[in-house]
Structure 1
Amino acid sequence: MSFAVWPEAIELGRMFAAEGYELALVGGPVRDLLLHRQSHDLDFCSSARPEQFEPILRRWGHDGFWDMGRKFGTLGAMRRRPDGTEVKVEVTTYRSDTYDPDSRKPEVNYGDSLEGDLSRRDFTVNAMALRVPDLEFVDPFGGANDLAKGVLRTPVDPRQSFDDDPLRMMRAVRFVAQLGFSIAPETAEALSDMVDRIEIVSAERVRDELTKMLLSDRPRAGVEALVESGLARIVLPEIPALELEIDEYHRHKDVFEHTMIVLDRAVALETGDDGPVPRPDLTLRLAALMHDVGKPRTRKFEAGGKVSFHHHDAVGAKMTRKRLKALRFDHHVVEDVSELVNLHLRFHGYVDEPWTDSAVRRYVKDSGHLYERLNRLTRADATTQNKRKAAVFASAMDEMEQRVRELKEKEDFDAIRPDLDGNEIMALLGLEPGPMVGRAYRHMLDYRLDNGPVDHDTAVAELTSWYAAQQAA
């Protein structure tokens, strides 16, 4: 088996060999070599202890060194190629971990062989190694064969593996999305039987795996594996809840299947780096995944056999905010995704009756920096199989977007403010700072959105008239 290996890996291997130490490229970089994929972050393991290989790594990594993983036997370094490309390496002493059943954090014990180190890895496709500098391929668990078959299997008994580190169950789902692999039957069975073990994993680690899964090329496959395995019941229970039982008259769609279609369509609507929603976009993908989570709680069977989901947008937004907070997503992600869920039905009224310019301004103003994502979520959500309805909807969205472009040529939507600011309102009405000033400001902002910019005298007349009505009431 021949490899086109990074020259930096060969050089580092020679430096370790000169000091009498073994060094091997392991895990993802070896897998990526076989898949002909690029990787600039290289993981190694070695017979040397950190204090022994630190001087070697410092000499090699003349552009950077770090030791945050020292207590786990890991040190890292970085160098830049002449073209500016960064090559980062991390070296870890051979390990033989033991785990506390109530924690996924291992008690680190140094091992004495490469094969022993590989046995503690998550899946066989990540349990291959390449000794450097002599390029001996080491594959004690058949990882190359599993890689060729597109199968995820654990090097040791899957129950032992998942019991030792339950996060590996999330990683299995993530690799389904990233690599397009399937989970081997015995591994899938163990995963489904042991999903409750994921509860000892921190929310942050679960969030990180979910994020990597959603940002992959196949997020739908990852979500479906998450649900099928039973993991979603614990880490994202709102999603399997979408698998509503469909009655014999098919009075509503399968909401889970609809959500998967919306996710696919949203991904397809992302743009290149120079577009408004560069691929991959976590906010849009999370919103597509969560947009209908309010439906199970709002489902109501109406007279005549109809099914309604009134206010599922508002209910879903609250549920989304609660779940993403529990998963420790950044505040801006929580707020943006929740707002997209809240607004995802906003456009639908336009299809029945095109909006006035003031309504278009409000749509753009209310969506703010989420405008481009909201339009893509709205388009993705239009999954009707009726070609005429689909064409009417697409045409209406095209028309609305064109109107927005034309209005933006006349005024800066991002800078829309009332024609009178707070200080002017207080001076004109003789008010001190307080709730009434806020109400007056909001009224003038609404007036601005409804009427566009007006001259100062007109704005003053409107404020005076509004305030008189408030006083009379």
Structure 2
Amino acid sequence: MRSPSDILENIQVQTPVSNILETLWTSGYQAFLAGGAVRDALLGIAPEDVDILTNALPDDLAWLFADQDPKYVGKSFAVTLVDKVEVATCRPADKKAVAEGHTFPATDLGRRDLTINSMVWDPKTRTLADPFGGQADIETKTIRFTRDPFDRIEEDPVRMVRACRFAARFGFKIEPKAFDAICAQAHKITAQGTADRIQREIIKAMGMDKPSGFFNLLHDTGLLLYILPSLDRCYGLDGGPHHGETVFEHNLLVGDALPASMPTLRLAGFLHDTGKKDALEIKEGRNTFPGHQKFTQAMLDDLERLRFSKKDMDYIYALVRGHMRPLKADTTARAVRRLLAMLDDLNLSYQDFLRMRIADKKSNLNPVKKPYTLGDIRLRLGKILDTMNEQTAFNINDLDISGRDIQDVLGLPQGPAIGKVKAFLFEKVLDDPSLNQKKTLADLVRQMDRNDFTD
């Protein structure tokens, strides 16, 4: 295993990092490798991103790197993007650190969120600056706020979500004082301007091996109630006779079972059964959830509040609405055609439909329920592909007759009646694809009673 110093030295000699460091040093500024890169190196992980901390101001950086089209991207604090490397200008000095005799970079690190993110590597001296015990916390697998947790949360409430994400990502425990502070301040997560950043934290969490740990921590700290109340309300809700786990547990199992490379699909898995709370009916003393896939409003309200794009919301909605459509060994070709028509209407691929179905089937702790075998999956995929190869109509616009043709046959003007006729013909074609021929469809139109479509 490579040592942390080897990992960091390998980073500092890479371009453009080495060029940025040398330019800052020769211009009389201090510059260090900071934050996540140092943390990951101490964990033995090759950092994905590199941050540089400097005492140069954004105007200085703009002048020094004018030929590299630097971009100021800072929001919470000053960050300049130089050749895709984030160069952070030191924040206003941490007064407590100054009072204790600290100088830069410790005066900046005292304002950072977590101790494991409050370290820098000095490439010149090959030494680690760790004034708040981040290395020790890594060794003891502890998530701790830098200095006073209430101060850090007051400065930025999203740090509470980050603490949960890092704890779940690395399998660390949140230090008791930090945990209590999050519980006490959880309501502040609704502060204005945090929605986009909370969304990014959620999406980052989807890349973990098991994001369920993240959602469990959000629930345990009280944050989930404010971030995704549609999911939080499923905690402890009995899953009914067909499940051996609660609805909350089932959502988490399904999300974990979906691929980390598809974050929006995975998030849909964590939310797919949140409608069960609204659909709940008790029959013979047991919970049932008829039509729960139709109860999507609470989930959509959460996603909209977190400023997810319409594209992402439509995709998650489609996965939730479609996940209960049966596809079994004895499913008829007619039923498969109707399934594909539904997927076409939802703008959802059969691949993602199957991914959700497989994860849903797998994530059931009822011993009677079994996940799909490879043979089961191949059978279902074969049914879909065989039906698709028939080249039948899966969309009303695939009919071999136009609205103009229908107008001519019925002698009707353009209007809602024509749409009703096309919908009727589409249902007929789904039942029997051989009917999708212009002459046959025109004959069916002639047999219709105009009054059925013009009322």
Identify the TM-score tier after normalising by the shorter chain: 0.7 to 0.9
Answering whether residue 181 of structure 2 is matched by residue 190 of structure 1, we say: yes
Q: 1:361 corresponds to which residue?
A: 337
The separation in 1 between residues aligned to 2:43 and 2:354, in whole angstroms, is 36
Answering whether residue 140 of structure 2 is matched by residue 149 of structure 1, we say: yes
Q: 2:352 corresponds to which residue?
A: 373
Q: Residue 199 of structure 2: which of 187, 202, 207 is its match?
A: 207
**Per-residue CA shift, 1:209-254, capped at 9, x if unaligned?**
1221223333111111111111001111122211235599999742
Task: Report how far residue 358 of structure 1 moved.
Answer: 2.2
Answering whether residue 103 of structure 2 is matched by residue 116 of structure 1, we say: no
Residues 138-147 or 111-120, more deviating: 111-120
Answering whether residue 384 of structure 2 is matched by residue 404 of structure 1, we say: yes
Aligned residues: 434
**Per-residue CA shift, 1:340-363, capped at 9, x if unaligned?**
11222111xx44x83332220121
Q: 1:26 corresponds to which residue?
A: 34
Matched to 2:10, the amino acid is: V
Answering whether residue 447 of structure 2 is matched by residue 465 of structure 1, we say: yes
Q: 2:416 corresponds to which residue?
A: 435
Matched to 1:463, the amino acid is: V
The separation in 1 between residues aligned to 2:61 and 2:451, in whole angstroms, is 80
Task: Report how far residue 94 of structure 1 moved.
Answer: 4.3
Conserved? CA contact 2:51–2:86, under 8 Å:
yes
Q: 1:302 corresponds to which residue?
A: 283
Q: 1:89 corresponds to which residue?
A: 86
Matched to 2:31, the amino acid is: L
Matched to 2:141, the amino acid is: G
Matched to 1:297, the amino acid is: D
Conserved? CA contact 2:392–2:433, under 8 Å:
no
The separation in 1 between residues aligned to 2:236 and 2:125, in whole angstroms, is 57
Task: Report how far residue 385 of structure 1 moved.
Answer: 4.8
Answering whether residue 222 of structure 2 is matched by residue 230 of structure 1, we say: yes
| TM-score with structure 1 setting the length | 0.83
**Per-residue CA shift, 1:389-443, capped at 9, x if unaligned?**
5268986654332111122233276777112122211222222111101111112
Task: Please give the secondary structure, in 1, of the residue aligned with 2:23.
Answer: helix
**Per-residue CA shift, 1:80-104, capped at 9, x if unaligned?**
xxxxxxx523231343379xxxxxx
Conserved? CA contact 2:33–2:120, under 8 Å:
yes
Distance of aligned partners of 1:22 and 1:346 in 2 relative to their CA distance in 1, 3 Å threshold: same
Task: Report how far residue 469 of structure 1 moved.
Answer: 7.1
Q: Residue 10 of structure 2: which of 5, 12, 36 is its match?
A: 5
Q: What residue ranges of structure 1 are gaps of 5+ in the alignment?
A: 79-86, 99-110, 271-278
Q: What residue ranges of structure 2 are gaps of 5+ in the alignment?
A: 96-101
**Per-residue CA shift, 1:97-129, capped at 9, x if unaligned?**
79xxxxxxxxxxxx9621010000000110000
Task: Report how far residue 157 of structure 1 moved.
Answer: 1.1
Q: 2:99 corresponds to which residue?
A: none
Task: Please give the secondary structure, in 2, of the residue aligned with 1:307.
Answer: strand
Answering whether residue 71 of structure 2 is matched by residue 66 of structure 1, we say: yes
Answering whether residue 124 of structure 2 is matched by residue 133 of structure 1, we say: yes
Q: Residue 167 of structure 1: which of 158, 165, 169 is its match?
A: 158
Distance of aligned partners of 1:127 and 1:413 in 2 relative to their CA distance in 1, 3 Å threshold: farther
Query: CA RMSD, aligned part only?
Result: 3.0
Q: 1:345 corresponds to which residue?
A: 324
**Per-residue CA shift, 1:180-229, capped at 9, x if unaligned?**
33211211111111101112143222222122122333311111111111
Task: Please give the secondary structure, in 2, of the residue aligned with 1:433.
Answer: coil
Distance of aligned partners of 1:50 and 1:424 in 2 relative to their CA distance in 1, 3 Å threshold: same
Answering whether residue 52 of structure 2 is matched by residue 44 of structure 1, we say: yes
The separation in 1 between residues aligned to 2:360 and 2:165, in whole angstroms, is 25
